[in-house]
């Protein structure tokens, strides 16, 4: 489990093909590894991966074919920057929202424009995910916990403040950039629990139950 608060940026050192999937070697740079052991979970661009090798300030992960097919990790190259977050520890501050590290789908940046000192991004979402995204709700983009500022039938917008731009890979996003999306866990479970589950969650449903304006 993660919070969506990016701890540091890493850099891909090597990507080695192994029997249909890959071994991913990432330099952790400023991430504190003093408490990291083999088998720990680290979120790489919002994807929960298991540490299989530790080499000083570099960690190695096995990335399955399923993960490569369902996330943007398959597009990484040597030298690519990535968002990093260690798994949530009991007693840590929860600065973002609960994030599982399981990607629901790939979004695509379709607009980037200045908004005062922030940058406004608009992302198109895969069919079926839009019902889980609501204005002022939470969304996880490449592992970063963000607030949805506006949402429509098949897109949503977020405003990224200067600090977040500086500390994450979001500063590199341009029109056409593909991103990992994880919708709010609460929204997914609500669809299973509410009587409206037969038709899916809508913005009206969330408003009715106090989860959106």
**Residue 118 and residue 201 in one domain:** yes
- Which range has the worst mean pLDDT, 52-61, 97-106, 124-133, 188-197? 188-197
What pLDDT does 211 receive? 64
Residue 18 in any domain: the answer is yes
**Residue 75 and residue 118 in one domain:** no
21-75 pLDDT, tens digit per residue, is 999 999 998 999 999 999 999 999 999 999 999 998 999 999 999 999 999 999 9
The total of structural domains in the chain comes to 2
Containing 178, the helix (H) or strand (E) segment is strand 178-183
**Residue 64 and residue 127 in one domain:** no
Structural domain that includes position 191: 105-208
Comparing CA positions, the residue from 15, 193, 28, 87 lying closest to residue 205 is 193
The pair phi, psi for residue 146, each rounded to 5°, is -135, 160
What pLDDT does 98 receive? 82
Does the pLDDT at position 199 exceed 70? no
Does the pLDDT at position 18 exceed 80? yes
pLDDT band for 210, please (50, 70, 90 cuts): low
122-174 pLDDT, tens digit per residue, is 999 999 899 899 999 999 999 999 999 999 989 999 999 999 999 999 999 99
Residue 186 in any domain: the answer is yes
Residue 176 in any domain: the answer is yes
Residues 6+ apart with CB under 8 A from 4: 46, 85, 96, 97, 99, 138, 140, 143, 144, 145, 146
CB contact at 8 A, 85 and 2: yes
**Residue 198 and residue 112 in one domain:** yes
Comparing CA positions, the residue from 79, 67, 80, 85 lying closest to residue 22 is 67
Distance set, CA 36 to CA 15, 21, 58, 105, 187 (Å): 21, 24, 11, 28, 31
Residue 36 in any domain: the answer is yes
State the Cα–Cα distance between residues 55 and 186, nearest whole angstrom.
Answer: 37
End position of a domain, from candidates 58, 86, 114? 86
Two tokens at 27?
């330099």
pTM of the predicted model as reported, rounded to 2 decimal places: 0.85
């Amino acid at each position: 489990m993660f919070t969506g608060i990016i701890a540091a940026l890493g850099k891909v050192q090597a990507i080695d093909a192994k029997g249909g999937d890959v071994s991913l070697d990432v330099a952790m740079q400023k991430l504190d590894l003093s408490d990291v052991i083999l088998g720990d979970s680290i979120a790489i661009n919002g994807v929960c991966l298991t540490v299989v090798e530790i080499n000083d300030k570099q960690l190695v992960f096995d990335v399955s074919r399923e993960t490569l097919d369902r996330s943007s990790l398959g597009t990484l190259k040597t030298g690519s920057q990535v968002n990093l977050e260690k798994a949530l520890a009991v007693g840590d501050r929860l600065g973002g929202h609960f994030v599982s590290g399981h990607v629901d789908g790939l979004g695509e940046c379709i607009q980037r424009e200045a908004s005062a000192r922030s940058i406004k991004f608009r992302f198109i979402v895969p069919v079926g995910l839009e019902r889980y995204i609501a204005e002022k709700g939470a969304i996880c983009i490449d592992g970063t916990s963000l607030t949805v500022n506006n949402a429509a039938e098949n897109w949503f917008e977020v405003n990224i403040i200067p600090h977040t731009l500086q500390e994450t890979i979001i500063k590199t996003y341009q029109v056409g950039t593909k991103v990992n999306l994880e919708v709010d866990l609460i929204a997914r479970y609500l669809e299973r629990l509410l009587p409206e589950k037969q038709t899916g969650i809508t913005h009206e449903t969330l408003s009715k139950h106090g989860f959106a304006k």
